[in-house]
Every structure is written in C-alpha cells, then in structure tokens.
Chains A and B, each alone.
Chain A
Amino acid sequence: MALTFKHGIHPDYYKELTAAKKIEKALLPKKVAIPLQQHLGAPCQPLVKKGDAVLEGQKIGEANTFVTSPVHSTINGKVKEIEKHPHPVGGKVMSIIIEGDGTQKEWGNGSIGLDIEKITIEEIRAKIKDAGIVGLGGAAFPTVVKLTPPKDKKIDAVILNGCECEPYLTSDHRLMLEEPEKILWGMKAIMKVLNVNDGYIGIEKNKPDAIDALENAKKSIIPNLKIIALETKYPQGAEKMLIKAILNRKVPVGKLPMDVGVVVQNVGTAKAVYDAIKYDKPLIERVVTISGNGINEQKNLMVRIGTSFDDVLNQCGGMKKDSEKLVIMGGPMMGIAQTNLEAPVIKGTSGITVLAGDAIRPSDYKQCIKCGGCVEACPVNLMPYRLTDYARFNRPDEFKAWGGLSCIECGCCSFECPSNRPLVQWLRVGKLRVREAEKGSSK
C-alpha cells in the first residue's frame, strides 16, 4: 500500500496524451510581454524605459521588499512599451512589451554537476534571488523566501514535489525523465542552503519511469535521498497533503510547512536552481504542457516566459475548429480559464489545457441532495456543502467558524458533486466575503 493522505479523488488523468512526448524547444517569439507581477508578493518596478535595448537574461524589473522576485527579459530586443497587458490570472497588469531582433543567447552547456563544496550558502541564495526563481508548481511563491527560514524555525527535511497530480499535465514528468541529474544537483544545493540531510522526492506511482530515472541518477549525486512512490490520487501534489503522506506531519491551519520543519519544492524549481547556480541563467523559460482534446497536436514545449498563449497554441497546430472551447492555464482542476489569448505564459504556467465538446462540464446544476460526497472528497476535512451556503447567503462569521479559510481550492468537492454544483466558486466567494468583513470591522 503506497503512502498517501485521507480523502481525495481519482479523476481521469489523460496523461497518456503527452507523457511520451519529448520536451521540444519552442520557436523564438517575435514579441514577449513580461508582466511585472508573476509571483506572490510585491510587484516589481521596471528598470528599463521605452526604447531601451535589452538582452536575454537582463534584469528588467525589481522590487525592494523581501517577498518578491525580479523579472528578466527573455529575448534580445527593444522595449516597445510599458503598459497594462492582459494577465493570465485575470485583469490587466503592468507589463514590459519587448520586440525581439531574432537573435538569442547561448547559455553554458558544459558537463553536468556542481562544485557544491566551494559555493557558500550566501552565494546560492543570492543567485537564486537574482535569477528570479519562484515555485514552478503553479503558486509562484518566491523560492528564496522559502530557503530563508526564520532563525527560530528548525528545518529538518526537504521534499521535492514530483507528484504532478493535475490531470493532463506532464511537464514535471518529462523533466524528471530527461534531466534527472540537473534536478538532483539543484536539490543538493537546496539541501545545502537549509543544512538538511533528509531529502525526499515524492512521485505518484503512475510515473514508474520517472522513479527509475531518478533512482539511477541519485547514486552518484545524493545517495541517501529517499524516492517515495505515492498513491496516484488527486491532490497528492498539494504541499500539505504531500507532507502528510511522506512524513506523517500535519501542517496546522494558517501555518506554513516551515512550521513543521519542512520545505517543499517543485522538481522544476530544483532544475531552475541548478541553472541559476551553474550558468547564472535566470528563470526565462519553463516547460509547458499543451494538452487537451481541443488542440490538434499535444506537446511538451520549453517556452520562454512572455510568449503569448496564441503563439504557443499555434505551434501545436492550433485549436480544433469546434464551436466552443475552454482554454485553461494549468490543469482542469485548479487552472484558470482564459478569455484573452494575448495573455503571456508566466513563471507559474505549468500547462495550457484546451478542452472542447464533451470534456467541458455542463453549466446547469441541481439541488444539493446531502449525499456527503464533497465531505468525503475534501482533503482538508471541510464540509463544502455547508460552507457554500454560508458563502451564498453572506454569513462570513459562520463561514470562518466552520473553517472555510483553510480551503485549498483543489476542486475535489465540485468534481465529486452529483448535482454538479459549483462549490469551489462559492467557497472562493465565501473567502472573499470573510476578507471584506474583516477589512470593514478593522476600520
């Protein structure tokens, strides 16, 4: 019996669409739009002006706070405009629009490996910060913040997250197959920064080839690393679920993994850390899975940050000519629906899923029949059917008292609901109303 957590769901994964497809380099985009906010935390201020020439990898935006992450130009070219541009997370965000000149930089390509003894911890931290690395799993939390725990918090374990439990997405899976050494060297650097000996990699059982690849690679790099095969279940890759499954520790509500002595990083982040240390290469590209039944050719692409969704989809043969399509940034469970394909790929874009026809869920819903399916599915032990009523009828106090704020918006409850009720959407409304009520009362 493989390790796992309680509750959760077993959706159809559709990973076979792209699991065997090698990561290809995407075409060099002619134009990129780099949003000044791609991470959790303070937005960046631009360091360049309209008309400036910029180079690939040049820092073009920075902020002077701790929880933030700089942004870099991803192509050689000229700053065409600094303006509000559609953002995949919604609305418009100040972005730097760069027009490329068609040339690109060659990043170092020597033998794989780091001289880990020689680099100091401060150097590694500085390089990670300068490279603008954020968590590549999707939430885009600045990595250096996770690697700088407060003095009173003792970290004794690092977990690399290779679960990739979202249906359709295979970007982490391919990365583990194709570049296991780089991931492991990145992991070694992370473990050195945190001064930790216990390293784990959690991978769902449905990726046996990735487990083998890492088992083979780890012997010469981190022999004592434990590679843990986890049950294939959604949301196994959620931070708190992963910690529960591997270490059997429970992260209290409102606390961080740091509070139970754990740091979790995505495998993609580890690879980016390696690139930053070895080649001083900032985070300017990432693996994006383009999948779903609405796209003509499913692929795993190495895409430069700032490439528009339109560009990316066109390289995959374009969308099918169905009447109705659903373009999602990320996977179908937690992804964000897009209405404007001018929006760029950002650091947190792990995939673009295009659904069509039957794959799109119908919109009408029926009464709650109190079957308890949502309660059974909820990985954080909430009662979604009850919380959603508090949200709909605007009762923020009860919503909070019943633990609504610890919802991780994984979508299990909506998935399970036989009446097709949009539970997650209401839960988000509930959280918003609690925040509004708290803001109002503190006035």
Chain B
Amino acid sequence: MTGDIVVISVASMGGIGAALSLFLAYADKKFKVEEDPRIEGVLQILPNSNCGGCGQAGCRMFAEAVLVGKVPITGCVAGGQAVVDGLAKLLGVEAQKANKIVAVVLCHGGEKEALKTGIYKGEKTCVAANFTSGEKACSYSCIGYGDCVEACKWDAMAMNDNGLPVVFHDACIGCGACARACPRFIIEMHPIEHKLFNYCRNKDKGAVARKVCKVSCVACTLCVKDCPQEGGIDMIENLAVLNYEKCLQDTDAPIKRCPTKCLLYGEEEKMTKAFYYASLKKPAA
C-alpha cells in the first residue's frame, strides 16, 4: 500500500502546484503593472544611496521623475559628472556639466571666538539646546553639539577642536542632510564655484555683534564698497549678504579690509578630508 500513498501524494500535491502556478501565470499577465523599462537602467547609473539630496523621496523616485522630464539630468547631486554623462547617454540628450554643490557652515564663532554667557546642562544635541538660549551669547551662532555631523551619512563632516563643524570639500556630495538638521539654519548649500562667504549670521547691530564674538560681521560696509561688481554684496539686516549672481567670485578684493575677518575667500576648498586628519596629528602650533 505504500506505493499508493506515494502516488496519491505526488498527484495531489503536484496537481495543486500545477493549478496554482497556472493561476499565478495568469495573474502575472492580467495584473501586470506597466512600468517604464528604462527605470531599471537609470537605477543602475544612479548611486542608489537614497540620500534625498535631489529633493525626491529616493533614487527610484528620481529615476521616474527624470524619465518624464520633471527633474533635469543634473538633479542627482550625489552622483557627479559620471551620473550626468551616463544619464545623457541613456536618455539620448545632450551631456551637461554636473552641478556640484557642497555644504558651507556659515559661522566661525567657535570656543575661542564666541563669548559664552551660560552653562548648558541639558541634552547635548543642537535641536534640544536650541530651546534655551544656549551657551554662547550670540543667538545666531553654531550651537556646537554636532547634529549636522550626526546627520551626515557620507563621513564628510567632523567637529573640530574649536567646537565647530567642518565640511570636507572633497567628500561632501551635497545631499543637504546637514543643512536640514541645523536648527539655526547656519549651513547653506552652495555650488562649488562659490568661493567668497560671509561666515557670520548675526543680524544685530555692529556694536552688539562685536561684543559677543570676535569674528562677527559688524556691518561696516567696507566689503560692499570693495566689491568690484556693483551690487555684488548687499548690507541686509546688519549682515553682508553676497549676491552670487552679480558677485563674480574672481577676486578676493572684498575681504582685504574686513576688520573681523568674517568674510573669507577660498577657505572651503582648503578643507579636504586628508588635510583635516593631517592637521589633527600635528600638535597645536
């Protein structure tokens, strides 16, 4: 009788299997989701890091958007030139230059420069500390607990010994996670061509700003006068604001007479990852 059991079980299980597979084959045809076959191709070119720097929810969303032309092929900030070239080839459009953008921390008021008026004893994260006035007297400054470094998934930031975050110019892919993490909006995303920055966000009057930090913008307007292009730098709310469309970034003339050295030229590109870690090993001068 053992033979019968084998036959019955093989036949019944096999029959069920065959019936279900037929149903699945039918369902696959009937309920097929039509998808652009090129999405897979685009995804192979993209970094697939889902960093969100393009403004989409992830790489797949970007792939769908780029195929219907909602976003330009230069939209992927993480990929760089290789992705732009790849996408241009795949989609048969003209190759373009990639927009490389990097994060810039616009506050240089660290432990050494900023005046401290309090002792903060709460949770050591910026978002929590921002409910209080924080330790520094300047209410626009970097709080210094490194929420941005925490947010950076690319190992492109670190807190230096002065209590300020630094961005590694070569490692930053421009996803903007750090800028979103900063509760005081000190970090801005800039195209790599920008070299001139005002590293201060203090909107108080010069005398007040000067008291709380050695490297604050005191609204002296010398840079406004020294900028070779008319309207390249404006003084808005006691702060020198660069107008990047007009200010051509070709000279460091505006920074020459800056009394507090809050306006600097070409600082960002010096800070590469190798440079930073090499500087750590050197004893302080």
CB-contacts of B121-176 with A (<8 A):
121-123, 125, 127-128, 131-135, 137, 139
B118 at the interface (CB under 8 A from A): yes
Complex alpha-carbon distance, A83 and B209, angstroms: 14
Residues of B within 8 A of A339 (CB): 117-118, 132-135, 137
Residues of B within 8 A of A363 (CB): 121-122
B119 close to A324 (CB less than 8 A): yes
A419 at the interface (CB under 8 A from B): no
Which of A189-197, A276-284, A399-407, A423-431 participates in binding chain B? A423-431
B204 at the interface (CB under 8 A from A): yes
Q: Size class of A's contact patch? A: 20 to 34
Question: Which of A91, A324, A426 is the one whose CB lies under 8 Å from B123?
Answer: A426
Q: Nearest Cβ distance between residue A340 and chain B, in whole angstroms?
A: 6
B246 at the interface (CB under 8 A from A): no
CB-contacts of A84-106 with B (<8 A):
84, 90-92
Question: Which of A84, A336, A432 is the one whose CB lies under 8 Å from B127?
Answer: A432
Residues of B within 8 A of A90 (CB): 131-133, 139
At the interface, is chain B mostly helix, strand, loop or mixed?
loop
The total of chain B residues at the interface (CB under 8 A) is 19
Residues of A within 8 A of B204 (CB): 84, 92
Q: Nearest Cβ distance between residue B56 and chain A, in whole angstroms?
A: 13
Question: Which of A83, A84, A92, A428 is the one whose CB lies under 8 Å from B131?
Answer: A428
B133 close to A91 (CB less than 8 A): yes
Question: Which of A83, A340, A425 is the one whose CB lies under 8 Å from B117?
Answer: A340
Q: Nearest Cβ distance between residue B57 and chain A, in whole angstroms?
A: 11
A149 at the interface (CB under 8 A from B): no
Complex alpha-carbon distance, A340 and B118, angstroms: 8
Complex alpha-carbon distance, A90 and B140, angstroms: 12
Could you write out 27 A-B pairs with CB less than 8 Å apart?
A83-B205, A84-B203, A84-B204, A90-B133, A90-B139, A91-B133, A92-B139, A92-B204, A324-B119, A336-B132, A337-B132, A339-B117, A339-B134, A340-B117, A360-B121, A362-B121, A422-B122, A422-B128, A425-B122, A425-B131, A426-B128, A428-B128, A428-B131, A429-B125, A429-B127, A429-B128, A429-B131
A: which residues have CB within 8 A of B?
A: 83-84, 90-92, 324, 336-340, 360-363, 422, 425-426, 428-429, 432
Q: Please provide the 10 A-B residue pairs with the shortest distance between their CB atoms, ordered closest to farther.
A: A363-B121, A339-B118, A339-B133, A339-B117, A422-B123, A425-B128, A91-B139, A425-B123, A429-B128, A425-B122
